[in-house]
Chain A
Amino acid sequence: MTDDNFDQEVLGSSQPVLVDFFADWCGPCKMQAPIIEQLAEEIDDKAKIGKLDVDANPAIAQKYEVMSIPTLIIFKDGQVVERLTGLQSKDVLWEKFNSLI
């Protein structure tokens, strides 16, 4: 996801969307990645999961006041419904999704 396609991909999505705000220099972000992958596999097509590089896409990162990474934000119908900062386990993410899908 990028500054350019964020509105369409995330805000305009009919499904809940999880966005992983990350950066290349962030260790915990790299640790978060395989967890997100496992989640994406399990969640299948019931929700959309994407990532956004905060360095390459500062406009969106600033809009959502991302001040710690990884920050994971779940959007539904264009609104922020969950915001998590720091490394998250799969359980926590599933718990948040369970009420949404």
Chain B
Amino acid sequence: MPEKNIYDLIIIGGGPAGLAAAIYAGRRQLKTLVLAKNIGGQMGISDQIENYPGFDFVTGFELAQKMFQQAQKWGAQFEFREVEKIISQENTFVITAGSGQEFSARAVILAFGLTPRNLEVPGEKELQGRGVTYCATCDGPLFKGKTVAVVGGGNSALESVEYLSKLASKVYLIHFKNKFTAVPALVDRVKTIDNVEFICCARVEKINGRNKLESVDLENIDDGPAKKKLALDGLFVEIGYRAKTDWLKDFVELNQSGEIISSRDGKTSRPGVFVAGDCSDSQYKQVVIAASQGAVAALQVYNYLVQKQGKKILPDWGKTRST
């Protein structure tokens, strides 16, 4: 039987945390595999990033591409797969991807970020991509001159309304309470837009349509509008993100929001398993913070492997030398 291919490190996630970790691990000459659904994660769909040091302005996709190429340059391998399971087996971790294929590594960095939250109402799943969507900047232009609604009350919801108001003929904002978590200046600005109508306080109860979205049923809350059907061509769900960690609950400690509990320097409750970026319990979810946590986690992995098996300490510029 051929010897199983064991990596020094498997990084789960291809956003800024995972990519930065891959760069650092590669430079330490760790045999590294990145298992990711995609490159960039939330960063990849950000229209503009203006707070990443060294860049006045960069699109999230461009920054992701640069990090991706940099990680490949330092030897990291990539597989575009969704991870379903992880177990600890003797001295290695065995990770199962969606296809059933298994990958093994001596250390793991969890860096898969956050996943958009669903409404979880009848009709949502059936009409995804048929009028129900989770990304205004991606799908907005497909709804030119149409009637759409945005669900949510945070910055991303209000920004989506503002953006869509320039494309669609009518934009409703459906929010379950009178208060918004979005910054007040943004809320005030959106309130003055002619083709925008706020529906407070209501909840989407059901999404209707055959093959494509036709309407939603609204359920009133408190003194909100009476129960009614709202005819729509598009429904943009912008109700935030969650850490999709159900599959890890018996593996590492999670907090109440399902985020992975991290020490200051990226350790989880399980030795050999580290965490970086938005899926950790770190308070601030920012690209530069995720990237720095990725670097920390990779260096932790290196130290862990050195201590555990006496892996030879190599300078991180070793790759550039001809020897």
Report how many residues on chain A are interfacial, defined by Cβ distance under 8 Å.
31
Instruction: Convert B38-49 into 0s and 1s, putting 1 for each residue whose CB lies closer than 8 angstroms to a CB of A.
Output: 111000111100
User: Which residue of the partner chain, among B38, B211, B213, contacts A35 with CB atoms under 8 Å?
Assistant: B38
Complex alpha-carbon distance, A83 and B59, angstroms = 29
The answer to whether A87 and B37 have CB atoms under 8 Å apart is yes
Complex alpha-carbon distance, A38 and B134, angstroms = 26
The answer to whether A86 and B44 have CB atoms under 8 Å apart is no
By a CB distance below 8 angstroms, the chain A residues around B80 are 34-35, 38, 89-91
Question: A85 with B128: in contact, given A31-B61, A67-B133 (CB under 8 Å)?
Answer: yes
Interface residues of B in 90-131 (CB under 8 A from A): 97-99, 101, 128-131
User: Which residue of the partner chain, among B68, B99, B131, contacts A91 with CB atoms under 8 Å?
Assistant: B99
Question: A86 with B137: in contact, given A27-B46, A67-B142, A68-B142 (CB under 8 Å)?
Answer: no
Min C-beta distance of B187 to chain A, whole Å: 25
- Does chain A have a CB within 8 A of B185? no
Complex alpha-carbon distance, A23 and B142, angstroms = 10
On chain B, which size bracket covers the interface?
A: 35 or more
CB nearest neighbor in B for A31: B38
Min C-beta distance of A31 to chain B, whole Å: 4
Question: A27 with B45: in contact, given A85-B128, A89-B37 (CB under 8 Å)?
Answer: yes
Complex alpha-carbon distance, A45 and B102, angstroms = 26
Complex alpha-carbon distance, A54 and B129, angstroms = 14
CB nearest neighbor in A for B132: A68
Interface residues of B in 230-254 (CB under 8 A from A): 234
Instruction: Convert A66-101 into 0s and 1s, putting 1 for each residue whose CB lies closer than 8 angstroms to a CB of B.
Output: 111101000000000001111101111011000000
- Does chain A have a CB within 8 A of B79? yes
- Does chain A have a CB within 8 A of B206? no
The answer to whether A68 and B38 have CB atoms under 8 Å apart is no
The answer to whether A32 and B139 have CB atoms under 8 Å apart is no
The answer to whether B141 and A25 have CB atoms under 8 Å apart is yes
Question: A27 with B137: in contact, given A68-B128, A85-B129, A91-B98 (CB under 8 Å)?
Answer: yes
19 interchain pairs (CB within 8 A)?
A25-B138, A26-B138, A27-B44, A27-B59, A28-B138, A31-B61, A35-B38, A67-B139, A67-B143, A67-B213, A68-B138, A71-B129, A84-B129, A86-B129, A89-B98, A90-B79, A91-B101, A95-B98, A95-B99
